[in-house]
Amino acid sequence: MPNRTIAEAPAPETGAGAPASLHQYSSTYGYSAAGSEATPPVEAPVGSRRSTRGWLISAGVVLPVLLFAAWWTISALALVPEHRLPSPASVLEAAVELGSNGTLLTHIAISTQRVLIGFAAGSLIGLALGALVGLSKWGSAFLSPTVGAFRAVPSLAWVPLLVLYVGINEDSKVALIAIGALFPVYTTVAGALRHVDAHLVELGRAYGLSRWELLTQVQLPAVVPSIVSGLRLALAQAWLFLVAAELIASSMGLGFLLVDSQNNGRVDRMFLTIILLGILGKTTDALIGLLEKYLLKRWS
Amino acid sequence: MSIASPALSTAAALGVSLSGVSRVFDSKVVLRDVDLTVAPGEIIALIGASGCGKSTLLRQISGLDLPSSGAIAINGERVTGIDLRCSVGFQEPRLLPWRTLEQNALLGLPRGTAKSEGQERVRELLRLVGLADASSLRPRQVSGGMAQRASLARALARRPGVLVLDEPFGALDALTRLQMQDLLLDVHAAEPTTIILVTHDVDEALYLADRVVLLGTDPAAPGSGASIRSITAVPGSRPRDRGDATLAHLRAELLEGLGVHTHHSNH
């Protein structure tokens, strides 16, 4: 028997909205990793589960190995001239050369530092803006059109203005990375907070929680999984914007190494940089993935 | 069962009075002129057809919603907003999934309760509702009945003067529901509080309540909003016999009031 009462009618819709908007968001970014690894396969019987899991992980190694083999074969057979496709050995040599005098480590360190600071700053601002817009009808009415307009500006379009106002220095690069990291967090957090189970919010109110307590004890914990997905997207964006910032104007960092190598015709170093960017990006993403796993277990 | 420790028990059951309570949503009259006086410690069951405004009335008493006209007072003091002298239990347990049952129950404590005192209180309540061994489990690890018991412990944590329950056992299976009814009576015996509960179940109303309030719309004036159609004092003292023959008569009467005929006839 459906026992809907009048009292329930004005309550906003509950549930289901957050995952949907998340999904939509990640597909906008062409990025499907958010949360997908957090659910282990359940159906498989216990005995075969471990080995299935092992095979699934090994499956991810197949393609890189094939790519490497293809690369090695092509360069060994000299199908493509060395100045267009360096051999794996020469890339390794470049790594040793740059690594031995410490420059490579400096490039990596400065880039990582920029990413982390920009990511942290952008995420915090995104979290604050997202909370304002997601929690308050007035905050949303007041802010979301403007934030939406800023988000619509391709973030790299800010570069000339940043250079003009902030100058070519550390701050402008970090600022650009922060801009890149801000919007994914903003969008996911605002969307998720809007869809926090209205029943739980009402419960909090009925038990006399203040707005702040409601936020910290009910609403934020409820959106922890979404926040982590947002952070994951933001981190990917941060690396993207790092390279953009360093390509445009810098004297250090992996983006600089890329431009510098291009100018000097060092295609081996270009390969090295790209491989390093891939490894660094994947590593930081994996770290957030671990955090996500832990938080999902703790908060849902 | 006497579990309430006298050192901590300070609150007492409070009386509730509703006078001329009406509620209009967007020009739709839901409640009209509801007058009711509930004595401290009394158990009142509100019954009525689906959508007749029972839950709305409960929301008025707890201050989650305010009447369009008329007034509600708890212990003579008017309810002007969410009123912490009153605790609410919902049909769904509404436990925070990331907290253990014990942490969920802690949410019900009044602000500013000393930590050790609060934990003591919650432990005592979890024992009262039979969850002493499950206190560190998460809501998704327990059955619906256990979750509902945890939410009852949470509602009792702050020693409410009034406990309003919105179909608290409606989502439970029949057997668990009977057990929960007995549990509620145990709780009522151990903790002084006035209970107003909404139910669909006439038997439940007769088993638990001192008085059963039938809410409904005057058939002669449809759309005029629900008001109190009848108040039935249930004879005898608790615990009642579920098979009591004198109650069978009241049961038929109340079902009649709900528009259900006890003997299916063709006409």
**Cβ A167 vs Cβ A175: under 8 Å:** no
Do A66 and A200 lie in a common domain? no
Does residue A46 sit in the same domain as residue A122? no
Say how far apart CA B42 and CA A184 lie, in whole Å.
Answer: 54
**A247 and A100 housed in the same domain:** yes
Low-confidence winner among A29-38, A98-107, A264-273 (lowest mean pLDDT): A29-38
Q: Are the CB atoms for B258 and B48 separated by under 8 Å?
A: yes
- Residues A153, A21, A224, CA angle at the centre, nearest 5°? 100
Q: Of the candidates B111, B143, B159, which is a domain's last residue?
A: B159
Residue B245 lies in a domain: yes
Give the torsion sign (CA, A47, A53, A54, A56): positive
A171 and A74 share one domain? no
Residue A231 lies in a domain: yes
Whether the predicted pLDDT of A14 surpasses 70? no
Any CB–CB contact under 8 A between A11 and chain B?
A: no
What interface predicted TM-score (ipTM) does this complex get?
A: 0.85
Q: What residue type is A88 in one-letter code?
A: P
Q: Do A153 and A40 reside in the same domain of the chain?
A: no
Q: Both tokens of residue A68?
A: 């490497």
Per-residue model confidence (pLDDT) at position B118:
92
CA–CA distance, A89 with A87 (Å, rounded to integer): 5
| Predicted pLDDT at A250 | 83
Pair B99, B143 in one domain? yes
* Residue A173 and residue A59 in one domain: no
Do residues B100 and B228 both lie within one domain? no
B118 and B76 in a common domain: no
Proportion of chain A above pLDDT 90, given as a percent: 57
Taking the C-alpha atoms of residue A242 and residue A29, their distance in angstroms, rounded to an integer, is: 17
Residues B174 and B73 in one domain: yes
Residue B2 lies in a domain: no
Structure tokens at B41: 């410690």
| Residues B98 and B225 occupy one common structural domain | no
Q: What is the pLDDT of residues A17-47, one digit of tens each?
A: 333 333 333 333 333 333 444 444 445 455 5
CATH number at residue A206: 1.10.3720.10
Instruction: Please tell me the distance from the alpha carbon of residue A22 to that of residue A183, in angstroms, as a whole number.
Output: 13
Asked if the structure places residue B1 within a domain, the reply is no
How does pLDDT run along chain B (267 residues), one tens digit per residue?
A: 434 443 344 568 999 999 999 999 988 899 999 999 999 999 999 999 888 889 999 999 999 999 999 999 999 999 999 988 999 999 899 999 999 999 999 999 988 889 999 999 999 899 888 899 999 999 999 998 899 999 999 999 989 999 999 999 988 888 888 988 998 999 899 888 999 999 989 999 999 999 999 999 888 888 788 999 999 999 888 888 887 888 888 888 889 888 887 666 555
Collapsing DSSP states into helix, strand and coil, what is residue A30? coil
Q: Please indicate, yes or no, whether residues A63 and A128 belong to a single structural domain of this protein.
A: no
CA B35 to chain centre: 18
Show which of A45, A80, A115 is a domain's final residue: A80
Q: How confident is the model over A151-178, as pLDDT tens digits?
A: 999 888 888 888 889 888 888 999 999 9
Name the phi and psi angles at A247, rounded to 5.
-65, -40
Q: Which domain holds residue A44?
A: 36-80
Q: Does residue A189 form part of some domain? A: yes
Q: How many domains does chain A have?
A: 2
The answer to whether the Cβ–Cβ distance between A5 and B51 falls below 8 Å is: yes
| Within a domain: B4 | no
pLDDT band at A267 (very low <50, low <70, confident <90, very high): very high
| Å between B53 CA and nearest CA of chain A | 6
Model confidence pLDDT, tens digit, residues B129-170: 889 999 999 999 999 889 999 999 999 998 999 999 999 998
B34 and B100 in a single domain? The answer is no
Residue A218 lies in a domain: yes
B137, B159, B181: which is the final residue of a domain? Answer: B159
Flag whether B6 is in a domain: no
Distance, CA of B230 to CA of B250 (rounded, Å): 12
Strands of B211-217's sheet in order across: B77-78, B69-74, B16-25, B28-38, B226-233, B211-217, B43-48, B194-198, B162-166, B86-89
> Does one domain contain both A72 and A206?
no
Strand, helix or coil for residue A42? coil
Closest partner residue to A208 (CB to CB) among B84, B154, B170 is B84
Question: What is the 3 state secondary structure string of chain B?
Answer: CCCCCCCCCCCCCCCEEEEEEEEEECCEEEEEEEEEEECCCCEEEEEECCCCCHHHHHHHHHCCCCCCEEEEEECCEECCCCCCCEEEECCCCCCCCCCCHHHHHHCCCCCCCCHHHHHHHHHHHHHHCCCHHHCCCCHHHCCHHHHHHHHHHHHHCCCCCEEEEECCCCCCCHHHHHHHHHHHHHHHHHCCCEEEEECCCHHHHHHHCCEEEEEEECCCCCCCCEEEEEEEECCCCCCCCCCCHHHHHHHHHHHHHCCCCCCCCCC
Between positions 196 and 215 of A, the ones with CB within 8 A of B are 199-200, 202-209
Residues of chain B contacting residue A202, judged by C-beta atoms under 8 Å apart: 64
Q: How far is B238 from chain A (nearest CA, A)?
A: 28
* Residues B176 and B151 reside in one and the same domain: no
A239 and A155 belong to one structural domain? yes
CATH number at residue B244: 3.40.50.300
Of B131, B159, B187, the last residue of a domain is B159
Q: Quote the tokens at residue A185.
A: 């967090």
B124 and B256: one domain? Answer: no
Taking CB atoms within 8 Å and a gap of at least 24, the contacts of B230-236 are B230/B257, B231/B36, B234/B206, B234/B209, B234/B210
Whether the per-residue pLDDT at A120 is higher than 80: the answer is yes
- Crossing angle of helices A17-28 and A224-248, rounded to 10°: 20
Contacts of A209 in chain B (CB under 8 A): 107
Q: Say which residues have a Cβ less than 8 Å from residue A153's Cβ, sequence separation at least 6.
A: none
Q: Which residues of A touch B55 (CB under 8 A)?
A: 5-8
Q: Cα B200 from chain centroid?
A: 12
Residues B77, B100, single domain; the answer is no
Instruction: Answer with the one of A52, A80, A108 that is the final residue of a domain.
Output: A80
> Crossing angle for the helix pair A267-299 and A88-100, nearest 10 degrees?
80
Position A16 in a domain: no
The parent domain of residue B155 ranges over: 93-159
Domain-located, residue B76? yes
B123 and B40 fall within a common domain:
no
> Are A273 and A252 members of one domain?
yes
Predicted pLDDT of residue A298? 77
**A31 or A194: whose pLDDT is higher?**
A194
Residue A297 is predicted with a pLDDT of: 79
The secondary structure element, H or E, covering residue A246 is helix A224-248
Interchain contact, B200 vs A2, CB within 8 Å: no
pLDDT confidence of residue A18: 38
**Strand pairing class (B86-89; B16-25):** unpaired
Interface contact A15, partner B, CB < 8 A: no
Residue B183 lies in a domain: yes
Tell me which chain B residues have a C-beta less than 8 angstroms from the C-beta of A7. 53, 55-56, 58-59, 65
Per residue in B88-120, pLDDT (tens digit) is 999 899 999 999 999 999 999 988 889 999 999
Say whether B107 and A217 touch across the interface (CB within 8 A). Answer: yes
Residue A291 lies in a domain: yes
Residue A187 sits in the same domain as residue A123: yes
Q: Which residue of A has its CA nearest to B30?
A: A6
Whether B171 and B155 share a structural domain: no
A46 with A89, same domain?
no
Q: How many domains does chain B have?
A: 2
Largest CA distance in chain A: 77
B189 and B207, same structural domain?
yes
Instruction: Tell me, yes or no, if A41 comes closer than 8 A to chain B by beta carbon.
Output: no
Q: DSSP string covering A111-172, please? A: HHHHHHHHHHHHHHHHHHHHHHHHH-HHHHHHHHHHHHHHHHS-GGGGHHHHHHHH-SSHHH
CB contact under 8 A, B50 and A2: yes
Query: Chain B within 8 Å of A14 (Cβ-Cβ)?
Result: no
Tokens 């003997």 label which residue? Answer: B263
